[in-house]
Structure 1
Amino acid sequence: MPSSEPTTTSTPILADLFALALHDLPLDSVHAKSAELRNSLAHLLESNIQLRPFAAAGDADCVEAIAENELVMKRFEERIALCRAEVERRMGGSGHGLEDDVVKVNGDKVNGVAERGNDERAAAEVPAQSGRLTDEELRRRMEARLAEDNAEEDDDGVHL
Structure 2
Amino acid sequence: MVISDACPVYAPFFGAMGCTSAIVFTCFGAAYGTAKAGVGISAMGVLRPDLIVKNIIPVIMAGIIAIYGLVVSVLISNNLKQETSLYTGFIQLGAGLSVGLAGLAAGFAIGIVGDAGVRGTAQQPRLFVGMILILIFAEVLGLYGLIVALLMNSRADMSEC
Q: TM-score, normalised by structure 2?
A: 0.32
Structure with larger Rg: 2
- Greater relative contact order structure (CA < 8 Å, 6+ sep): 2
Structure richer in helix, relative to its length = 2
